[in-house]
Amino acid sequence: MAILIKNGRIVNPATNMDMRGDILIENNRIKQVLPYIEAEAEQIIEAYGCIVMPGFIDLHVHLREPGFEYKETIETGTRAAARGGFTTICAMPNTNPVIDTPGQVQFVLEKAKEAGNVHVIPVGAVTNGQQGEQIADIAGMKRQGAGAISEDGKSVMNTYLYREAMKEAAREDMPVFAHCEDKSLAGNGCINQGKKSQEYQVQGISNGVEDVIVARDILLAKETGARLHLCHCSTKDSVTFTKLAKEAGIKVTAEVCPHHFVLSEDDIVNGDSNYKMNPPLRSKEDVETLKLGLKSGVIDAISTDHAPHHEDEKKQHISTAPFGIVGLETAAALTYTELVCKGWLTPMQMAEKMSYNPAKILKLDKGDISEGKIADITIINPAWEYTIDANEFASKGKNTPFHGRKVKGQVVYTIVDGKIVYDKLKETKEI
Ligand code: DOR
Ligand code: ZN
Ligand code: ZN
């Protein structure tokens, strides 16, 4: 099976290529990348006016299976990923049971294969059952195909135990994905500590809740040599500390989620719990610093923290509703609209943050659309404007504060292993 992509703007950070041209895919690999290709192909994709990028890689997704299939399944979550232009996603372990054994890792991989949408890389828990008491079988999970370890949803508060886990991660050359939240400082906070928490008379979450653990984890990375990856950075000091750590030669990388660079606490309306996530929406000053961090390269990646919840759960009062919003099907357009159109990032930098750098963090031979590479490709139409409609999501989760928002930059094709797993034009015809 051959696919020929014609006349696209090919943006490939791995080779610093930004060129109008064609890409020929044969079977699962990229056969040729040239300004003009004449070849027989079963399918021709006319990509004039479109940007052709390495397939997006999301380091941070909650697929909810096993245990919370009413929120999302591996099938619906990976379909949502394909719709969002993601060709590889990392599945966080806070399921029921927790992904903390090689057998659980195997379960996720098998389900993902069955679904056949996008690549899934399971992330193993740091401690058994995410209980923070015994270190999980990190080496065993790695052997089974886990790409990282994480206690996402919380931090391992026992610093001694976390240091031991980081030593093991360093031996196994596995990155540690850190959700930074000091539990004792967080209390029952539900949104940022500031004007909105005062207005709603609810407990706030201060920047310090995140910053204290960011600093601790950086120091532990320094001591253990582990590769630390800071999840969903939301505060200005997270950016400052990451910058200092990088300058000091500590192995640290960092991600930011679209909701944290698009929205601030000021945008929360009517106490709507679709604006509630952990970490919370912060001040305008924090948002500005996150964008500067992305622009300057201090922040390596854009990830979604896709966190689907049931409508009934999210209907609760903001103080009790669960944390989290869906993100797979809005990330590309929000990034294009808010960062590329507004001059914070070039299309090349967008491809870096959404594909090339995540691949490097995972040490994957992906995020590169050079000749000979596996054909994981995302094509977006930057001129296509539309209104986000949660009812169109493939995800079971409709919990997004972006419903009704106008954006630019539509994912039109997602190609995984040389197969088209999402075709916007077909979907439009089907509706
Ligand atoms: O908003 C969040 N949702 N933050 C987390 O840390 C966990 C996640 C979830 O699992 O729902
Ligand atoms: Zn988290
Ligand atoms: Zn998360």
The pLDDT tens digits for 364-422 are: 999 999 999 999 999 999 999 999 999 999 999 999 999 999 999 999 999 999 999 99
Residue 80's H or E segment, with its range, is helix 74-83
320-367 per-position pLDDT tens digit: 999 999 999 999 999 999 999 999 999 999 999 999 999 999 999 999
Query: Using CB atoms within 10 A of its CB, is residue 59 exposed (0-12), middle (13-18) or buried (19+)?
Result: buried
- Provide the b/e sequence for 204-224 (b: ≥16 CB within 10 Å): bbbbebbbbbbbbbbbbbbeb
CA distance 398 to 404: 12
For a mutational test of ligand 1's pocket, the pick from 58, 62, 63, 281, i.e. the residue with the most ligand atoms closer than 8 A to its C-beta, is: 62
Please list all protein residues whose beta carbon sits less than 5 angstroms from ligand 2, which is an ion: 152, 179
Count CA atoms within 13 Å of residue 100 on its CB side: 20
* Catalytic machinery residues: 305
DSSP state of 391: G
Structure tokens at 394: 């493939």
Query: Using CB atoms within 10 A of its CB, is residue 415 exposed (0-12), middle (13-18) or buried (19+)?
Result: buried
152 Cβ inside 6 Å of ligand 1: yes
CA distance 356 to 220: 26
- Residue 178 Cα to ligand 3 midpoint, Å, equals 10
Nearest CA to ligand 1 atom 3: 324
Q: Which atom of ligand 1 is nearest to the CA of 323?
A: 1
pLDDT on residue 368: 99
CA distance 244 to 397: 37
401 prior amide bond cis, ω within 30? no
Nearest CA to ligand 1 atom 7: 153
Please list all protein residues whose beta carbon sits less than 5 angstroms from ligand 3, which is an ion: 152, 305
179 Cβ inside 6 Å of ligand 1: yes
Low-confidence residues in the chain, pLDDT < 50 = none
- Residue 176 Cα to ligand 2 midpoint, Å, equals 13
Which residue type sits at 26?
E
CA distance 183 to 55: 36
pLDDT on residue 428: 77
CA distance 284 to 120: 34
pLDDT on residue 430: 60
CA distance 95 to 228: 22
